[in-house]
Amino acid sequence: MTHSRFRYPEKVSEISEICSSRLNSLLTMSQHPSHETDPRWTAVDNYSFSHLRRPSSTTLSSADLSYALTNSAQNGLPDIAVSPSQGKYLMLQAKLVKAKNILEVGTLGGYSTIWLANSSPDVQVVSVEVNSHHAGVARANLSHAGVGERVEIKLGPGVEVLPQLAEEVKQGKRGKFQMVFIDADKENNWNYVDVAVGMTEQGGCIIVDNVVRKGLLADPNTTDPRVWGAKTVVENIGKDERLDGVVMQTVGEKNYDGFLIAVVK
């Protein structure tokens, strides 16, 4: 079989030259943070989302999503919500596991919450938010999107609220979750996962956002506590017999990052 467009290098020196050139390119990129943004990533997000988004297939409207982002910005919330493509990924993941109860840690303005609440007509979402102002904005956004009755916002630090939820599940006052989405203070990633496992059904999934941190996840010399929070959750899940997980790196309009998805055994 011949390849008209690709020629295998015939000499060791030629292979070495190719590897050296690629390494130098990567090193150069690592020295310039601007390489972490690329107009192609946003273009692909916009192109694919516009073609794969079918408004008639869901009650979720583009106007509701736009309102949530605009209202959040006008109220001073940081622009750190998931992208539209990431939001739809979360919604489809909830559909895949047939989630009826979803736990979200980190509400912010409720943008990802709106996606999750549209995964099923009868889904219920419990979303934990530490900031009362953020929670108020989120409630307004959820109400505007028509999903306010499907979402319960629990106000308080996740490290305090999650154990309370776990006790309610244990006592039978609340059903187990089929999906958990964690996008809060990164230093507590593992604490949230550790508690969430006991509240999640076998076969359910736990997704932790922003674990790649522009590649710093693999940097042994980083001093950023958020990166160490990502390292801890990755390493602990790898040692935890209750979970089976994988990290997926992503690029897009939200830059270079990635998420960890784990299945409860």
Q: What is the pLDDT of residue 17?
A: 46
Task: Give the predicted TM-score (pTM) of the model.
Answer: 0.85
For residues 2 and 61, the model is more confident at: 61
Q: Which of 103, 107, 116 is nearest to 177 (CA)?
A: 103
Q: What is the pLDDT of residue 58?
A: 57
Helices (H), 75-188: 84-96, 111-117, 132-144, 158-170
Q: What is the pLDDT of residue 55?
A: 54
How high is the mean pLDDT of the chain? 88
Q: What is the pLDDT of residue 256?
A: 94
Are the beta carbons of 106 and 182 closer than 8 angstroms?
A: yes
Distance between CA atoms of residues 25 and 20, nearest Å: 9
Counting other chains too, the contacts that 248-251 makes at CB distance below 8 Å and 24 or more residues apart are 249/212, 250/86, 250/212, 251/38, 251/41
Amino acid code (one letter) for 249: Q
Q: Is the pLDDT of residue 81 over 60?
A: yes
pLDDT digits (tens, 9 = 90+) for 181-229: 999 999 999 999 999 999 999 999 999 999 999 999 999 999 999 999 9
Q: What is the pLDDT of residue 60?
A: 83
| Residue spans of beta strands (DSSP E) within the chain | 101-105, 124-129, 151-155, 177-182, 200-208, 243-250, 257-264
| % the chain with pLDDT above 90 | 79
Distance between CA atoms of residues 176 and 105, nearest Å: 15
SS3 content of the chain, % helix, strand, coil (to 5): 50, 20, 30
Query: What average pLDDT does range 222-240 have in this prediction?
Result: 97
Instruction: Name the pLDDT band for 254 (thresholds 50, 70, 90).
Output: confident
Query: What average pLDDT does range 162-175 have in this prediction?
Result: 98
Q: What angle do CA 188, 123, 140 make, to 5 degrees?
A: 70
**Three-state SS for 154?**
strand
pLDDT digits (tens, 9 = 90+) for 10-24: 444 444 443 444 444
Number of Cβ within 10 Å of residue 23's Cβ equals: 10
